[in-house]
Structure 1
Amino acid sequence: MKRKKHTSADDEAQIDMTPMLDIVFIMLIFFIVTTSFVKEKGLDVNRPENNTKTDKPSKSLSIRIDENGTIMMNGREVDIRRVVANTQTFLAENNTDSAGIQADKDTEHGVVVEVMNQVKIAGIEKVSVLVKS
């Protein structure tokens, strides 16, 4: 009898992967077939359509008040008693719902509050106050 020489390659164990892959595929098929697809119950959401008008961008009314209480509306000096009339004129010419009041840090608060009230009386609800430092 002849003896076989053992080499290092023969000493390593070989694992046959075919049966394991067969079992994995059988399990995959089993889970796909037995899975039930049920429509989940819940509330249907009715989202509003986007009805924003983008044909004409709205221009905001710009009001500046300096440290002396001088009111400037769109580049013109305006008396505090004429803020309502000038705001209504601006609203007639422009489609807007906001105004920005830029006040100097040394401006009296009463003047700023009075201008805010006058703008709201004229029909603008969104009024922003900016402080110039």
Structure 2
Amino acid sequence: MKRKKHTSVDDEAQIDMTPMLDIVFIMLIFFIVTTSFVKEKALDVNRPEDSNANPNEPSKALSIRIDENGTITMAGREVDIRRVVANAQTFLANNNTDTAAIQADEDTEHGIVVEVMNQVKIAGIDKVSVLVKS
């Protein structure tokens, strides 16, 4: 039996990559063409305008706290829910502001918070924020 001698041509087997590259490019084109670009729906955010106010001077907002029992505190003293309008108007007379911040306990009934918000809006404050713990 005769043995065949290995030559260098037999050791260097090569694979033709052209058909594989063609398939990859065809798949890439297919995925690009079939992809649908959908604009996601989202809420529009109204960002505040840059004000010319002095950044060192803090803006004063009406601060209202409501505890878990529904007790309303304005300017460090307890206030009845029927007197929120009068106290807010007094605050507006002494301070040039259009914002109020309501900080309610997490166990406070929502109806009380909504009623305080309504009373503050009746007093003439348009921008009302509700503060929550995060």
TM-score category, normalised to shorter length: 0.5 to 0.7
Q: Deviations over 1:65-122 (max 9, x none)?
A: 0000000001110000000000000000001010000000000000000000000000
Report the Cα offset of residue 63 of structure 1: 0.1
User: 1:1-133 to 2 correspondence within 5 Å?
Assistant: 52-54=52-54, 57-132=58-133
State the TM-score, normalizing by the size of structure 2: 0.57
Going from structure 1 to structure 2, the CA distance change for 1:67 and 1:51 (only over 3 Å counts) comes to: closer
> What stretches of structure 1 of length at least 5 have no aligned partner?
1-49
Q: Deviations over 1:15-68 (max 9, x none)?
A: xxxxxxxxxxxxxxxxxxxxxxxxxxxxxxxxxxx88354x7531000000000
Hey, what's the Cα distance between the residues in 1 that align with 2:109 and 2:51? 42
State the TM-score, normalizing by the size of structure 1: 0.58
Aligned residues: 84
Hey, what's the Cα distance between the residues in 2 that align with 1:100 and 1:53? 20
Q: Secondary structure of the residue that 2:85 maps to in structure 1?
A: helix
Q: Which amino acid aligns with 2:66?
A: I
CA RMSD of aligned residues (A): 2.1
Q: Which amino acid aligns with 1:62?
A: S
Going from structure 1 to structure 2, the CA distance change for 1:92 and 1:110 (only over 3 Å counts) comes to: same
The answer as to whether partners of 1:63 and 1:99 remain within 8 angstroms in 2 is yes
Hey, what's the Cα distance between the residues in 2 that align with 1:96 and 1:109? 26
Q: Secondary structure of the residue that 1:107 maps to in structure 2?
A: coil
The answer as to whether partners of 1:65 and 1:107 remain within 8 angstroms in 2 is yes
List structure 1 segments (4+ residues) > 3 angstroms apart after TM superposition: 50-54
> Which structure has the greater CA radius of gyration?
1
Going from structure 1 to structure 2, the CA distance change for 1:100 and 1:51 (only over 3 Å counts) comes to: closer
Q: Secondary structure of the residue that 2:69 maps to in structure 1?
A: coil
Instruction: Give % identity.
Output: 81
